Chain A
Amino acid sequence: MTRYKRKDPEITRRKFINAAMGGTVAVGGISLLSTLGTANPVFRLTRDKMPPLKGDVLVHAEESKEGQIIKVSELSDQLVRAWPMGKGEDGSNVIRKGDPNNILALFRFPKGQLVAPTNLEATVDGEIVAYSDVCTHAGCSVADSDQGDGMKCPCHSGQFDPKRGCIVTGGPPPRALAQLPVQLDGEQLVVSDFFLAMPYPYIAESEWESFKKEVEEQLA
């Protein structure tokens, strides 16, 4: 029986069709997958997406005052949100809010209250300090705590202490908020360097370092 069956042309034809269909599905599937590449557009690092850079002026982020330069007198132990504002390619002012992770938190504490691990060199007179305002946990914008001291993330109640380098004092965030070195230039608060540590959304120092390089190369 089997001997005859093997010679049966019906079977070979079926086999052929199966193989042909399988081949078509495989080739077609792969070529369809390749179109998925278009799903991921190229990232262009424009100036408004660059992180806070040396020389950027800090301006208000709050909607009613957006773009106005922040005065020292406006700062207190209550959080003030700021954007870095730099120069565009044509020399005009560019607020770097193309990347929402550039949002900053500014505080001013009476002298002596800011302590390590805050980098005091990177503050103004040990009084004014700037941090990334993006929670290292899932990237929410951190606010003043509703229970007195410090900052609290509204998403999963992460807590930070802005007087001690914004270390985590409660909740799930894995890292402190990154401190941004600032200095006073006349009336303006000016960024004096990159963030001192990697900010959200970076998860490896190496990535943050290579991103900084990329930014510097593009500016050079």
Chain B
Amino acid sequence: MFYREAGQFKTSYKADQALMPILQDRVGLLVILAIAFVVIPVFANDFFLTSIMIPFLVFSLAAIGLNVLTGFCGQLSLGTGAFMGVGAYTAYKLTTIFPDANVIVMVLLSGVFSAAIGAIFGLPSLRIKGLYLAVTTLAAQFFLEWCFIRIGWLYNYNASGAIEIPHREAFGLVVSGAEATPIVRYFIVLCITAGIAFLMANVLRGRIGRSWMMIRDMDIAAELMGIRPLQTKLLAFAVSSYICGVAGAMMVFFWLNAAEPSSYSIALSFQILFMVILGGLGSLGGAFMGAAFIWILPVFLKFIPGTIGIDLAAETVEHVTFMIVGALIIFFLIVEPHGFARLWQIAKQKLRVWPFPY
């Protein structure tokens, strides 16, 4: 009833191939975009922007990156954190080498390096599959993390061993460094994330995306039908690492302002993997929902005891948060192994046939 396609006739090929053929989807997306671009900037305070919205968008982008690889191409990766780190360190080096260049361009460019490194570590994927492949991506994780610590050139030999983002301007606004206002950062992060998400939505339903899904569903059959597995898998690794690299660069440039090697540790890889799996493997919307759940829930959990008047030590809260997150992950996997994206699909189906049960 609410979600009825009946009566929405497509009279041209263009309409038939549209990204969102159903009116309700288009309206829903426009509402979300309006909230993101207008309502939140107008009403949100700095705390909400810097500690909830910006990280949420950054993580969403990273989750999209991992989803391309794991959800759409079926290659399990535990090295996401390291590829994000590559993006961050490259963007940092680029902006110190070219101080006058537009830093947003540098952030987008840094993904290219990350893509190259991702493709190199994707090479074993032709021979190795599944959990075995996860170990080779772990190799990438630990090796790259070691590089961030040991290679002084990467962090300009400064004493702390961390990278600190300098003051940079773009389009006449301060966009990075301590003086940049949250609202400017938020808009940049939002634009990049929304842009890449839109781009990927189109790539994924085209020839490239379909060949990835063929590899995921049955690689031998795909090969027999003329998909070249090496190129296809490497492309998935490269695209995924590109997106992760950009997300990693945004993480340090527009959110944290400084990053040390441990910021891009295996814990980050797992966090992103959680987002992808809980959100739903192979769904772009799921990446956003997963990121929201994994990032925002702990933030809320931290504030709940204070607001209802229970005074707990910060440590205890953290431990309890760990327990709750772990338990919720198991709970959601049991209730719906296909993630939030599947829940949303079910909800849509219910709305479609309402008021009838089926």
A binds B: no
Q: Which residues of B are interface residues toward A (Cβ below 8 A)? A: none
